[in-house]
Amino acid sequence: MLTREAIAALVPHQGAMCLLDRALEWDLTRILCEAESHAAPGNPLRRDGMLPAVCGLEFALQAMALHGALSAGGARQRAGFVSSLRDVRMATDRLDTIAGPLRIEAVALVAEDSGFIYRFDIAGEGRSLLSGQAAVILP
């Protein structure tokens, strides 16, 4: 298991913008993380006192970046640009009211030096909250 501090050393996001609290398991194609920062009043993605479900995309993107770093032998993942989102489904309006940790799973479909494509699912309270596919270009 990786802690928040270990995760912050591997992803481009630092301080409060590092949203993942734990990496529970990973292999060559998949990572499973947990986050509790969705409920924090100081979450930097909150707007008007709430965390909209669409902000879950950032949790998924950070899990993808972490998986890329771990797959590259622990080299810090460089910042990338989201090039596409597909088949995004939201089953809730907001994340800050979800009790307990969010579980973020990302499965690599394509992983290259120039970018990656992952399917992702964010679950909480025993159900899928946000899922889809994201492609990221690494400059």
Q: What is the CATH number of the domain that holds 66?
A: 3.10.129.10
**What is the DSSP secondary-structure string of 44-89?**
TT-BTTB-BGGGHHHHHHHHHHHHHHHHTTSPPPPP-EEEEEEEEE
CB 128 within 8 Å of CB 104: no
CB 102 within 8 Å of CB 123: yes
Number of other residues whose CB lies within 10 A of the CB of residue 78? 11
Residue-wise pLDDT for 74-106, tens only, equals 889 999 999 999 999 999 999 999 999 999 999
Specify the number of domains making up the chain. 1
Task: For residue 55, name the pLDDT band (cuts at 50, 70, 90).
Answer: very high
Output phi, psi for 91, to 5 deg.
-105, 10
pTM of the predicted structure, to 2 decimals: 0.96
Half-sphere exposure of 68 (CA within 13 A, CB side): 27
Helix (H) or strand (E) holding 136: strand 127-137
Task: For residue 113, name the pLDDT band (cuts at 50, 70, 90).
Answer: confident
Q: Is 34 helix (H, G, I), strand (E, B) or coil?
A: strand
Over range 24-33, report the average pLDDT: 98
CA proximity to 89, closest of 32, 46, 134, 126: 134
Over range 112-126, report the average pLDDT: 95
CB 29 within 8 Å of CB 108: yes
Residue-wise pLDDT for 57-80, tens only, equals 999 999 999 999 999 998 899 999
Domain extent for 77? 2-137
pLDDT attached to residue 95: 98
